[in-house]
Amino acid sequence: MASELAFHLAPNNLSTRTPPIGQALSWAKQYVPAPDRPLLDISQGVPGTPPPPVLRDALAAAASAPGVFGYGPDEGEYELRKAVAEEMRWTYGGQDKGSGEVDVNAEDISITSGCNLAFVAVAMSLAQQGDEFILPVPWYFNNQMTLSLLGIKTVELQTYAHDHFLPDPERCAALITPRTRAIVLVTPNNPTGATYPPSLIASFASLARTHKIALIIDETYRDFIASSPPHYLFHSPSSRQIAPEHQPTDWSWRPTVISLYSFSKSYCIPGHRLGAITASPALLPALVRVFDCLQICAPRGAQRAFLTKPSPSAKSLLPSLRHFIKDNRDALAARHKLFRELLPRRWKIASSGAYYAFVRHPWKGRGAREVCERLARERGVVCLPVAFFVAEQGGEGETEVREEDRYVRFSVANVDDERIRTVCERLKEAEEVFGWELD
């Protein structure tokens, strides 16, 4: 279709993929739901429950509190930066084991309008057109889209089902060039759900340090790891908890590590747009240049809500929400278990964790895209094919289906236990009615 626009669009924009969730939802529009057969959307990584009442009340009150109508500091309210640093010391310190050995302070934290913006800000601070970032494949599609928009080359670090989708540091080392600016890890991973062990994260930290490049770790799902801490990179090297494989020797995290966080999943508030970056204060001036153009400040009402004091001695709301996070984590772990138990036997879970299960569908010679399309249109189950998390293929005429094309991402966080049961029943029905050859 010829464009009606009289002006040009940026080539980097035009060559960036269309957001894939919309495509899955367009398949779903063709499903005709019935009262006893509703649409089951298990596609997008959105929290299935609302935030707790105490947070909802705090958000409501903070939205019209004096002082929130104006701009705030680019890098976030200082009191919230302090509170987030305290939460990090607690989370990475092993929660019940004390937090004194985790070396993260308010000055290391900046508050962003969500984790996606955090990634954009970091990418714009580190690289320019023609530079390279290494991303494990399959990737979180917004990371790759950001790089594409900025003209930064995505270098693919393939991961494999037989390795549980864990990236290999040796293979990564072979991809580093003089243009490499960062390695990006997402753990627990979107889309595979794989949780990278602390020793693997330490190997990547060591590799990044050796090559004087950044290690960016997107830890949006860190609060859903049952065995804490997520890694030991933030621990002081003298910490008693450090096993030699958990941290590079003579380690100091600030020259190398940039950690990203989202409030969307842990606190169930994706619409309020809050995230955080943990990085050396030496990076802050570069980040602030970007923040000042993209966000000026993160939403002030939401920031202020987390500074509500539930008791006179409390400094913020965050510690009082730890039990809410834990309850959600436990519920999600139970839902994963249920999904494993109910999934028809021909569907094979390759990896799972946090919000996601990454599952191999049972039809021979069929790509997950056509499977997901039919599941949405005919059975009312919306899930995402691996094709959404890898480079776009050549299009027309490409007929050969590889084993790697057979994976489907299910976001088990979106739905309750009853719906998990119904999703599994419909997958079984699909085996019976699709008429395709099964494994």
Ligand X SMILES: Cc1ncc(COP(=O)(O)O)c(C=O)c1O
What does the binding site for ligand X look like in residue numbers (CB under 6 A)? 45, 114-116, 140, 186, 190, 218, 220, 262, 264, 270, 275
CB of 355 to ligand X, least distance (A): 7
CB of 164 to ligand X, least distance (A): 18
Nearer to ligand X, 93 or 138 (CB): 138
CB of 120 to ligand X, least distance (A): 10
CB of 275 to ligand X, least distance (A): 4
CB of 42 to ligand X, least distance (A): 14
For the chain, the distance separating the N- and C-terminal CA atoms, rounded to the nearest angstrom, is 41
CB of 416 to ligand X, least distance (A): 20
Nearer to ligand X, 413 or 430 (CB): 413
CB of 118 to ligand X, least distance (A): 7
Nearer to ligand X, 43 or 180 (CB): 43
Nearer to ligand X, 117 or 317 (CB): 117
Nearer to ligand X, 390 or 424 (CB): 390
Q: Helices 115-126 and 141-150 sit at what angle, rounded to 10 degrees?
A: 40
Nearer to ligand X, 115 or 430 (CB): 115
CB of 45 to ligand X, least distance (A): 4
Q: Which residue is nearest to ligand X (CB)?
A: 114
Nearer to ligand X, 103 or 223 (CB): 223
Nearer to ligand X, 90 or 119 (CB): 119
